[in-house]
Amino acid sequence: MGNTQRPLIFVCHSSRDKPFVQKLADRLSQDGVDVWVDHLEIKVGDSIHNKINEGLSKSDFLVVVLSQASVKSRWVREELNSAASLEKLSDRGVFILPILLERCDVPPLFLDRRYANFLEDKDSAYKELIDGILHHFKSKHPDVDVAPLRQPEAIDAYAVALNRLVLNADILTTLPPRAFEEFVAAMFHSLGFGVELTSVSRDGGADVIAMKSPAPGLSPLKTIIECKRYAPPNKVGVAIVRQLFGVMQACGAAQGIIVTTSYFTKEAKHFASGHPIDLIDRDKLQEMMRTIDVATWETIVRSRASN
Question: Per-domain residue ranges for the chain?
Answer: 4-146, 152-305
The answer to whether 260 and 277 have CB atoms below 8 angstroms apart is: no
Label residue 168 by pLDDT band (50, 70, 90). Answer: low
Q: What is the DSSP letter of 35?
A: E
Is the sign of the CA dihedral 22, 27, 30, 33 positive or negative?
Answer: negative
pLDDT computed for residue 205 by the predictor: 60
- pLDDT tens, position by position, 224-272: 999 998 888 889 999 999 999 998 998 899 999 999 999 999 999 999 9
- Separation of alpha carbons 12 and 63, rounded Å: 6
User: Is residue 291 over pLDDT 90?
Assistant: no
Work out the percent of the chain whose per-residue pLDDT is above 90: 17
Is the sign of the CA dihedral 175, 262, 224, 142 positive or negative?
A: negative
At residue 45 the predicted structure's pLDDT band, cuts being 50, 70 and 90, is very low
Q: Taking a C-beta distance cutoff of 8 angstroms, is the pair 70, 77 a contact?
A: no
In this structure, CATH architecture of domain 4-146: 3-Layer(aba) Sandwich (3.40)
- Tens of pLDDT, residue by residue over 70-115, are 888 776 666 666 555 545 534 556 677 888 898 888 777 666 667 7
Pick the CATH number of 152-305 from 3.40.640.10, 3.40.50.720, 2.60.40.10, 3.40.1350.10: 3.40.1350.10
Sign for the pseudo-dihedral over CA of 249, 250, 253, 257: negative
- Structure confidence by residue, pLDDT tens digits, 130-142: 888 887 787 777 7
Summarize the confidence of residues 5-28 as an average pLDDT. 85
Locate all alpha helices (DSSP H) within 223-265, ordered by sequence. Answer: 238-251
d(CA 194, CA 151): 25
Q: What is the pLDDT of residues 174-222, one digit of tens each?
A: 777 777 888 888 888 878 889 888 765 444 567 899 999 887 788 889 9
> Cα–Cα distances in Å, from 111 out to 97, 107, 128, 133?
12, 7, 18, 19
Q: Rounded to whole angstroms, how far apart are CA atoms 89 and 61?
A: 15
